[in-house]
């Protein structure tokens, strides 16, 4: 079973930056699309960004476009989320997740389409 471990969360002032990392336990990571999702109390997890297995397709939620950047380093079994110009509304628990099918260029539309999840890392943006 794949294990995903996030890191890089913390407290930052509005306008600041953070970089989240997610390391996968298995090299097979490189065969799967990866997403970053976030959740606030009382709300469902929303997809923030997704990158396909080969990096050929990258998508972002409208709320983070031009501020967040997702990338992956398959040699390190790691996916990143660079977050710039952070706003108070970005405060959430951030999760990385692996899409359920290998070698797919499909972009998930719902959290249920992801198969493996990390434990989450808290990001708090103070205004």
Residue 37: predicted pLDDT: 98
Q: What is the pLDDT of residues 78-122, one digit of tens each?
A: 999 999 999 999 999 999 999 999 999 999 999 999 999 999 999
Summarize pLDDT for 23-77 with one digit per residue, the tens: 999 888 899 999 999 999 999 999 999 999 999 999 999 999 999 999 999 999 9
| Closest among 108, 90, 91 to 99, alpha carbons compared | 108
pLDDT of 45? 96
* Vertex 98: Cα angle to 85 and 121 (nearest 5): 45
């Amino acid at each position: 079973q794949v294990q995903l471990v996030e890191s890089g969360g913390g407290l930052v002032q509005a306008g600041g930056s953070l970089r989240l990392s997610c390391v996968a336990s298995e090299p097979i990571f490189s065969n799967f699309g990866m997403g970053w999702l976030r959740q606030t109390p009382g709300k469902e997890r929303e997809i923030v960004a997704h990158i396909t297995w080969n990096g050929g397709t990258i998508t972002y939620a409208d709320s983070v476009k031009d501020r967040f950047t997702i990338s992956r380093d398959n040699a390190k079994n790691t996916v990143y989320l660079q977050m710039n110009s952070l706003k108070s509304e970005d405060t959430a628990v951030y999760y990385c997740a692996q899409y359920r099918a290998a070698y797919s260029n499909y972009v998930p539309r719902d959290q249920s389409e992801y198969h493996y999840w990390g434990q989450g890392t808290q990001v708090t943006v103070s205004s």
